[in-house]
Structure 1
Amino acid sequence: MSDPLMTAERVATTGLNAQSTRLRVIAENLANADSTGRTPGSDPYRRKTVSFETALGPYADAQGVHVKRIGLDKAPFVLRYEPGHLAADSNGYVKYPNVNSVIEVADMREANRSYEANLQVVRQVRDLVAQTIDLLKQ
């Protein structure tokens, strides 16, 4: 059986890692929100999504989380009529990514809050361990 404080820290660390990956994927989506294909009619950047999965600790005594997979959003691309654009098809339409910046920013805020909450758990555990060591020294 492992120490409950260290277990809490390990679980929170899995949350930090998962939310860090989520933030990276969101950043990629936002960076490519206006990226079109390179040739007429070609597909642009496709929005990525992150799926999480429960992860058992090394002693199966606690659950954390890890990234199950990074997938592609199957939503259709946005078509805009821009006949002079280099990526326009024969009808003058350009395919734009299926990235909605408003949704990405909302997801980013949620991921950021989750990251901060997990970080606070790690800090709190370390403070408690330090206080325990100080108490034992007395």
Structure 2
Amino acid sequence: MDLSTAVKVSASGLRAQSLRMRIIAENLANADSTAPTAGGQPYRRRVASFRADLDRASGAETVKVQSIDGDKTAFQRTYQPGSPAADAQGYVLKPNVNTMVEAADMKAAQRSYEANLNAIEAAKSLTMRTIDLLK
């Protein structure tokens, strides 16, 4: 694998993890939201799925977004009869976002992002050393 292919693979990883962190941030921002209408559906947690994609020009396997789907887990129900989002029985549906899971996912995405960034920096450093040797 040449250095440009390595950079291309790492750059696709950077884009994928950046998208993953953005989705996690959206989930965290909506963790305490409620439905806009009485008895309505609150925010549904979103999860990104990725797939390997062969770049025919370079022969490198890059990362592509396969889909961004809503999490199918059930919403939490809390009894809050005075809330404008409460249904006829007084229950409010809360988003299916677990902040501890999101924090762990964010940390994993950050580490993956940093690893891809370090790989790009290593490829850049090797290129610069090669240029210096050729002088």
- Range class of TM-score, shorter chain: over 0.9
The Cα of 1:82 is off from its aligned counterpart by 0.5
**Does 2:108 match 1:110?**
yes
Is 1:94 equivalent to 2:100 in the alignment? no
Aligned partners of 1:58 and 1:28: how far apart in 2?
A: 34
Deviation at 1:122, TM superposition (A): 0.4
* Structure 1 runs (4+) greater than 3 angstroms displaced: none
1:25 aligned residue: 23
Tell me the number of residue pairs that the alignment of Structure 1 and Structure 2 aligns. Answer: 135
SS in 2 for 1:44: coil
Q: Residues of 1 paired with 2:129 and 2:58: CA distance?
A: 28
Q: Aligned to 1:45, which of 29, 43, 46?
A: 43
Partner of 1:127: 125
Letter in structure 1 aligned against 2:8:
R
Q: Secondary structure at the match of 1:74?
A: coil
SS of residue matched to 2:65: strand
Q: Please point out which of 56, 69, 82 is paired with 1:71.
A: 69
Q: Deviation string for 1:84-117 (max 9, x for gaps)?
A: 1110111010001000000000000000000000
Alignment partner of 1:62 out of 42, 60, 69: 60
Structure 1 unaligned segments of length 5 or more: list them: none
**Gapped runs of 5+ residues in structure 2?**
none
Post-superposition shift, 1:127? 0.6
